[in-house]
Structure 1
Amino acid sequence: MVFTEFSFLFFFILVFCVYWGLQKHNHRKTWLLVCSYIFYGAWDWRFLSLLLLSTLVDYFVGLMLSRPQVDSSIVGQEIQTNEAVQKEWINLFSWDSLLTQPINQQQRQAWLALSLVVNLGLLGFFKYYNFFADSASNLLTFLGLPVSITTLQIILPAGISFYTFQTLSYSIDAYLRKLKPVRNFWNFSLFVAFFPQLVAGPIVRASTFLPQLLTPKSLSEVDFRGCLTLFLVGYFKKACISDNLSPLVDQYFTNPEIYTVSSCWIAVICFAIQIYCDFSGYSDMAIACAGLLGYKLPLNFNFPYLSSNITLLWQRWHITLFTWLRDYIYTPLMKMRPKEQRTKLFRSRNILILMLTSGLWHGAAWHFVAWGGLNGIALIVHKQWSSWIAPYKRLLPLRNMLGIPLTFYWFCASAIFFRSNDLGSAIQVGKSFVLLNSLGSQNLNVQIGWIFIPLIIMHWAAYKGWFADWWQKIPKWSFAVFYGVLVSTILRFAAISPQPFVYFQF
């Protein structure tokens, strides 16, 4: 089910009515869990087994990591590994006895390793097996050792990258003792499977969501106007803007060599608008649906295209992913050396690793890796440039003014590698966009460029908060009438054929 389809509307209305009709908090959570599994199973019921496996493994790992840790510095207190393992298996079904037994550091590392191996193993097999098999085969052939490595017809499970990172963060935080693992299996299952954000984020941390499951919800506390407005904004972004631009973008990137430079610019800018409206639109609708059920999800986008530099842009784009990568990849890499030994080269290397990981997370192809690498280089260059220009504070207003269009230009140029079908095609489109060099003669419908003007005005108005919270101040009847008019108007401009969300493939 796609959020912009009427089938989801009927599904959510049923979920909403039954949820608030139930009186007990535990019954509501059980209903949400059942509905979440139905929602995910509607894509392909076979992949529910992967979701359940990830849930079971990380729940059990969390319990094991919650056990009291042995102080190995005290003589006679350290547990011998073999004896400890035997006791764990003996007491496997005796929770009270098992969870009170102490655990040493080596055992804690082993339990964390289990979570990493299972989660990353599943992700690696379903998402990256064919990519690495093809890459290895091509490399061996290039070295004069032709070997045929069998690829598999693997279907990528919806949302596997999102819920894998979500459950991994739980295990890692439990290992670092940043959160106390939960014993209620159903609460943990709902944290993993909560349907509004299950297949395309935002990536929710356990420390943010699990405490919300402990508090009974009240219908009177729901911000209906805010949630309904946010959902409509997200629907407009997706159904009216992204889905209508999608055919034009697909038309160009299918055969980019036949089009002119002006068509290239139109297509690339349209893709930048499409991908933003597609993904931020999903995030808006997910946050709104969760809000209508009494839960709060984290912000995922914060006007990234109005950023004055590349660093700020990646702090505002897909916020939950990049904070995840920062906390679980970049920060641990930085802590590998004391502060006084962290050279510029060391920091630059870690930034590049961060962005290469981001590129590989987005897709199992070299053009995604190149996209991540290019943005990693851009972040390194910006960091150095900022240190050079820092003493010249008078140039700050000019830098901010010129920074917005330059940053957006860079985003569009690098997004070519994100959207293209392969690395060769991306290089060809890049030449047309950056070097203004194209042998093609056909033109896209360049008149669609007029859509940029109202979109820029609307985006700027939203950024400045010109319409912020006005819907909260008008009378209920006025809000109902105005909302109905907006819905009927938006439906007239919605794409005839709803498109799947771009981030479903990740």
Structure 2
Amino acid sequence: MLLLSTVIDYFVGLMLSRPQVADLQSDIVEKRKTISFFNWDALLNKPQNQQQRQAWLLLSLVANLGILAFFKYYNFFTESAANLLTFLGLPISLKTLNIILPAGISFYTFQTLSYSLDIYLGKLKPVRNFWDFSLFVTFFPQLVAGPIVRASTFLPQLLTPKNLSEVDFRGCLILFFVGYFKKACVSDNLSPLVEQYFTNPENYTFLSCWIAVISFVIQVYCDFSGYSDMAIASAGLLGYKLPLNFKFPFFASNMTDFWQRWHITLYSWLRDYVYVPLMRKRPKAERTELFKSRNLLILMLLSGFWHGAAWHFVFWGGLHGIILVIQKQWSSWVAPYKGSLPLRNILGIPLTFYCFCALAPFFGSKDLSTAIEIEKSFLFLNSLGSQNLNLQIAWLFVPLIMLHWAAYKGWFADWWRKIPSWSFAVCFGVLVSAIFRLAAINPQPFVYFQF
């Protein structure tokens, strides 16, 4: 799968870079000699019109998105079509396939597409060296779970040799340590409790629901941001810089701010390649609030659909889109009252966290009906059953909040850079020894491996 995507987009990138002419039937073109397919220099200098460039881009889009659609969404569309026809009184039996989802397909598909799209838009020149492009596609640290690295970010880094003397070893080791702590010590230890509740939510009280949902949000954050930290650190040790993927999202003061801090590379990708082109379909004077809201909903629906081939993911994305539309409208209403801005920021942080937690059941449940039941329990304090989870786990939230706040304020940013190398080595060794004692006994797979 990787090889196929690599070959297609490498070739498409070269074809998109060919010079343009207004009309391929012009006299200049007619006088050209027949060009051999294997004569690269002649082929790459052969003029083309805009329709041909669009055709090459379409090849990249159809190939990459077609592969993704088959492996990730074939069964979803098949089952949804069968259910719809049954609902309409036309029962039909459609065969689903036992498809194994290739690891990281959603991530590397968007990576390779960014290459073709940037060349088409004139933001990037293609690489002639096939191995350089292959390295961009298959670079292992972020390959299976992000961050989503764009060609314009990674390929220029191949132009300069890497020297060990330029590697920030301390920074990379500390970042990897933080990522491992998030994943192995926090996320994996919360995973059994979350799975216990989400498997049978009908057995538990609303208090258990709150603890499980908040635990799930912390689990997903520590799992995914932990992977991103370790990926960025691993790339840094090799001399490459990957983009930031999380920026303390739980301190966001509104949902717009939140989505600029959470899975940054995905939402910036969707913004630049989906939302912005949709907005440019109309002149600025004709961009009504309804038009902007529609495009924002499309953006978030695609985000939910990207995360999984199930209706509860679509609902999760759509509901976030609705909240973003409401929040933007509210912000425009209160914008003239600048004196209330500090209060709005203070109240906005817990309210934003609550909104994200309130919609988390649609992300973590096995199906839509289960998500709705959990949602009722969370929002309306409705106990579905009488059992309680280990409520003492809630005390774990306190030190986690304190650590997160300290990191947000940068309290851990400098001291380990100022101490001598031997002191750093000793401290790092002690921390690593301690972290192994805190790591979960049963390691869990990364949550985003399934996407």
What interval of TM-score do these two structures reach, taking the shorter chain for normalisation?
Answer: over 0.9
For the residue of structure 1 that corresponds to 2:329, the secondary structure is helix
Cα deviation, 1:334-393, whole Å, max 9, x if unaligned, reads: 000000000000000000000000000000000000000000001000000000001111
The match for 1:403 is 348
User: Displacement, 1:136?
Assistant: 0.3
Cα deviation, 1:232-288, whole Å, max 9, x if unaligned, reads: 000000000000000100000000001001000000000010000000000000000
The match for 1:52 is 3
Write the mapping of 1:317-336 to structure 2, written as runs, cut at 5 A: 317-336=262-281
> Is 1:247 aligned with 2:247?
no
User: Displacement, 1:470?
Assistant: 1.6
* Structure 1 contact 70–77 (Cα < 8 Å) conserved: no
Cα deviation, 1:205-242, whole Å, max 9, x if unaligned, reads: 11110011111000000000000000000000000000
Larger displacement relative to structure 2 (260-269 or 431-440)? 431-440
* Structure 1 contact 79–103 (Cα < 8 Å) conserved: no
Write the mapping of 1:315-354 to structure 2, written as runs, cut at 5 A: 315-354=260-299
The match for 2:360 is 415
Amino acid aligned to 2:13 = G
The match for 1:484 is 429
* C-alpha separation in 2, matches of 1:426 and 1:91: 59
1:273 to 208, 212, 218: 218
Larger displacement relative to structure 2 (132-141 or 467-476)? 467-476
Write the mapping of 1:410-449 to structure 2, written as runs, cut at 5 A: 410-449=355-394
User: Displacement, 1:78?
Assistant: 7.7
* Structure 2 contact 312–368 (Cα < 8 Å) conserved: yes
User: Displacement, 1:501?
Assistant: 0.5
1:70 to 21, 32, 36: 21
User: Displacement, 1:446?
Assistant: 0.3
User: Displacement, 1:77?
Assistant: 5.4
The match for 2:444 is 499
> Is 1:471 aligned with 2:422?
no
Amino acid aligned to 1:174 = I
Amino acid aligned to 1:59 = Y
User: Displacement, 1:160?
Assistant: 0.2
Cα deviation, 1:79-117, whole Å, max 9, x if unaligned, reads: 58xx99x95xx5221101111111111111111010011
1:54–1:391 CA distance, 2 compared to 1 (3 A): same
User: Displacement, 1:178?
Assistant: 0.9
Amino acid aligned to 1:105 = Q
Amino acid aligned to 2:283 = P
For the residue of structure 1 that corresponds to 2:259, the secondary structure is helix
* C-alpha separation in 1, matches of 2:36 and 2:311: 48
* C-alpha separation in 2, matches of 1:78 and 1:144: 61
* Structure 2 contact 201–384 (Cα < 8 Å) conserved: no
> Is 1:389 aligned with 2:334?
yes
* Structure 1 contact 67–103 (Cα < 8 Å) conserved: yes
The match for 1:159 is 104
* C-alpha separation in 2, matches of 1:78 and 1:378: 56
1:351–1:410 CA distance, 2 compared to 1 (3 A): same
The match for 2:60 is 115
> Is 1:105 aligned with 2:50?
yes
User: Displacement, 1:466?
Assistant: 1.1
User: Displacement, 1:76?
Assistant: 2.6
The match for 2:78 is 133
> Is 1:181 aligned with 2:126?
yes
2:140 to 195, 203, 215: 195
The match for 1:220 is 165
Write the mapping of 1:360-371 to structure 2, written as runs, cut at 5 A: 360-371=305-316
Unaligned ranges ≥5, structure 2: none
1:312–1:93 CA distance, 2 compared to 1 (3 A): same
Amino acid aligned to 1:275 = V
1:337–1:485 CA distance, 2 compared to 1 (3 A): same
The match for 1:229 is 174
Please, what is the CA RMSD of the aligned residues? 1.4
1:457 to 402, 409, 424: 402
TM-score by length of 2: 0.98
* C-alpha separation in 1, matches of 2:17 and 2:178: 42
Amino acid aligned to 1:178 = K
> Is 1:285 aligned with 2:226?
no
* Structure 2 contact 107–145 (Cα < 8 Å) conserved: yes
* Structure 1 contact 79–104 (Cα < 8 Å) conserved: no
Amino acid aligned to 2:14 = L
* C-alpha separation in 1, matches of 2:26 and 2:216: 64
* C-alpha separation in 1, matches of 2:56 and 2:111: 17
Runs of 4+ in 1 over 4 A off after TM superposition: 77-80
For the residue of structure 1 that corresponds to 2:260, the secondary structure is helix
Amino acid aligned to 1:132 = F
2:318 to 363, 366, 373: 373
The match for 1:24 is none
Unaligned ranges ≥5, structure 1: 1-49
* C-alpha separation in 2, matches of 1:394 and 1:321: 34
* C-alpha separation in 1, matches of 2:414 and 2:330: 39
For the residue of structure 2 that corresponds to 1:315, the secondary structure is coil
How many pairs are equivalent?
451
1:261 to 197, 206, 228: 206
- Percent identical: 76
* C-alpha separation in 2, matches of 1:340 and 1:469: 49
